[in-house]
Structure 1
Amino acid sequence: MTSSRPDNVFHVSTWQEFRTALGGGGNAARTNTEPRIIYVHGELNAFEAADGTMTTCATFEEETGFSQAAYIEAFDPYGPWGWKDPEGELVDLQAAAANAQALQTQQHIGSNKTIIGVGDDARIVGANLRIRDADNVIVRNLTVSDSTDCFPEWDPGDTASGNWNSRYDNISVWTSTHVWIDHNTLDSGDLPPDALASVYGRPYEVHDGLLDITHSSDLVTVSYNRFEPHDKTMLIGSSDGRTADRGTLRVTLHHNKWTDIGQRAPRVRYGQVDLYNNYYVQTGPYDWYSYYWGVGRESALYAENNYIQLDPANDASTIIAKWGGVAMTEIGTRVNGKKVSALDAYNAANPTDTIGDDAGWTPQYRLKVDPTMSVPAQVELRAGAGTLR
């Protein structure tokens, strides 16, 4: 690691150099508020240990005496264990193994940090970048890939068929303000949804979100990013029960591209979200698609001039899903080139559970809203890592 100004400008090319530039691992970086600019060169792999050796999921199992294979065998709902929540020593050991992984691959980003990828090949692989309790953070021009959780947890009560759930997003924004996520590419690496194994008849999901904004974060802008094939892409708002989120979660999303994603683009609770000039693309039929815009509890989603390319297998009524919300504003949507109201389509398909057409606010702070038909070309040209202009 080199620094042209040792007090605040760093050029890094390894995971350990990156962590050091941010103030260290664990809470040391989380509480570090010194202004720092960090330039990332090439690929940083979060599984690379401080001594340069590569850890693996097996490393964390060996450190703790845990076996994910034993966990899977023990809690098979179709075996003697049945449809009960996992419990006992294996659950405790799994928590220890998960903590060992977090110490290696999870990196906090504190206040007053700017992280910029250099050129078109800067990437961080295998990490959960967590912007937590921070103010004034910028992340630009990076590919952030594959935040694999080595130890997914089985939840038999999550849907009628159960689900495997993971701990890590590629980027998490928690209790943070004034955050700008710009010109990045976020993906699932070698494990997009169609590459996942099936365990207990359910996808063995090793990822959570690509970019989640939760826990009363506020004043966040997400611009000119690419979200590559993934299931749960972006959650805004922690849970229905977190009423502390009221009055926060003011988020702007513009000129992002979402390709072959399953859901949450975004799903909103409580937040006042400005969603304009985004481009959604389905390159063909795929079985993990559910919806794009989730209207959750006390949400205020304002969607304007977004372009959606749906596969013929999907109807415009699927664009919106209702998760306890009562209203949103939608203006200027185009679906496959045609003017279409996704909200009208949803309400026509769900006449006993409709959504109102007024989010209760109007965005004030935009430089420009582009015509919907110009969105695909603009986003293709300018969105993602390596396209800074």
Structure 2
Amino acid sequence: MQSYLLLALLPAVLACTNPDTNSCASFMSVNSATAGPFCTSFTNAVVTATAGLPAWATHCSNKVKEISKECSCYYTAGPNPQPTTQQPPPTTVVTSVVTATSTGSTPPVETGSCGSANQQQLVGFGVGTTGGGSGAGTTVTSCSALTSAASAGGVVRISGQLSGCGVITVRSGTSFLGVGSNSGLTGGSFRLNGVTNVIFRNLALTRPPEGRDLIDIENSTYIWIDHCDLSAAGIVGDKDFYDGLADAKRESDFITISWTKFRDHWKASLIGHSDSFSADSGNLRVTYHHNLWSNINSRTPSIRFGTAHIYSSCYENIPTSGINSRMGANVLVEQNSFVNTNLAIVTDLDSDLEGYANQRNNIFTNSPTRITRAGTWTAPYSYTLDPASCICSLVKARAGTGVISV
């Protein structure tokens, strides 16, 4: 049983969800004659599950919390309003004091200079990943050769942009390395299911098969994605035609994604299978650092249940939402630059249970946040921060393909 106090019928602006991207908000915004009376009668109402909800609640996925939020948004909140979006000045540097967790943490190295982090070093939760080892491996120039090499494992070097390879099944103990500056897949996808110890480096991956992720990680551990370029067709067309750029679900764990460009897509990186898949709790530990997120609609990342450390990265032109902590997830967000990013950090979006966010030393330029639950989690490993003031120029030059030798 949950009680939601909703208020009287005075239109208000309370950082409403974008009606262009949310069906619940869209219905509320244009159907006040229908929604208004219900919102009034819903005041002090107690509902269980979907009992007592009107037929139009399907626009809100029959989620009581979402209905409550949008009612409160479109009809002025009273003593317990929904949290409003924090709109900083056009450019804001936000610093917060962080309390270390009881498990202890290693303070980051902050040199104050740009480019101090080692581009070749594996850092974060993915440490220990060795992939297919250090041998010369096999060089492939066709989809059939790639499929065969992937099934054998070891070091697989992709030479050239391979088109239409479909879904490549990945085995444990494999490294996929791109040759030169433009090697990878167009219309292909890597699928990891129940494997461990896999590396992707220097790969340009774009436009996966319909309904697929470029890199799909399920029930897999020790994964390193580094100096890759992940993209689709832009924020155009059907948002569900392609799925994610790099997703991790179903008890996956110990992942680092570094020096990678995420660009031109609806939904970049989902961590966590669903709101009901509680087995993800205690897993899904992911480090994102020195990445460029550009022209992405949302999920940069979106994380349920798990723990994400997101540092020294650049966010530009994210119209719906940026870092989305949900279902009790914990995120530490530090030394990032957000430019034109809506809800750059948010903890009460899309799920019934909020997440936690601990943010420090970020720069927000025309980029509001909505942190309803402040976290205290800190990283248990050592790492080097590059400052937010220079991070966009740094990752634009050094993230992605053609920068390192592999």
- Identity across matched positions, percent: 27
Deviations 1:188-208 (Å, cap 9, x if unpaired)? 1xx3222x2xxxxxx363101
Matches within 5 A, 1:1-389: 9-23=137-151, 35-47=153-165, 105-149=166-210, 167-188=211-232, 191-194=233-236, 196=237, 203=238, 205-282=240-317, 289-310=319-340, 317=343, 319-320=345-346, 322=348, 323=351, 324-336=353-365, 345-346=369-370, 355-358=372-375, 360-388=376-404
- SS of the counterpart of 2:391? helix
Residues 204 and 379 from structure 1, CA distance in 2 versus in 1: closer, same or farther, beyond 3 angstroms? closer
Superposition deviation, residue 377 in structure 1: 2.0
Residues 326 and 173 from structure 1, CA distance in 2 versus in 1: closer, same or farther, beyond 3 angstroms? closer
Distance 2:190 2:355 in 1: 33
TM (norm. structure 2) is 0.63
Superposition deviation, residue 35 in structure 1: 4.8
Match of 2:19 in 1: none
Q: Which has the higher contact order (CA 8 A, sep 6+)?
A: 2
| Count of residues paired in the alignment | 269
Distance 1:253 1:318 in 2: 15
Higher Cα Rg: structure 1 or 2? 2
Does structure 2 retain, via aligned residues, the 8 Å contact 1:249–1:271? yes
The structure with the greater share of residues assigned to helix is 1
- SS of the counterpart of 1:127? strand
Alignment root-mean-square deviation, CA: 2.2
Amino acid in the other structure paired with 1:320: V
Does structure 2 retain, via aligned residues, the 8 Å contact 1:171–1:211? yes
Residues 268 and 205 from structure 1, CA distance in 2 versus in 1: closer, same or farther, beyond 3 angstroms? closer
Amino acid in the other structure paired with 1:384: G
Superposition deviation, residue 8 in structure 1: 7.9
Does structure 2 retain, via aligned residues, the 8 Å contact 1:14–1:43? no
Superposition deviation, residue 46 in structure 1: 2.5
Residues 382 and 318 from structure 1, CA distance in 2 versus in 1: closer, same or farther, beyond 3 angstroms? closer
Does structure 1 retain, via aligned residues, the 8 Å contact 2:252–2:284? yes
Amino acid in the other structure paired with 1:307: S
Runs of 5+ consecutive residues of structure 1 not aligned to the other structure: 1-6, 24-33, 48-104, 150-166, 197-202, 283-287, 348-354
Runs of 5+ consecutive residues of structure 2 not aligned to the other structure: 1-134
Distance 1:306 1:371 in 2: 8
Distance 1:236 1:248 in 2: 10
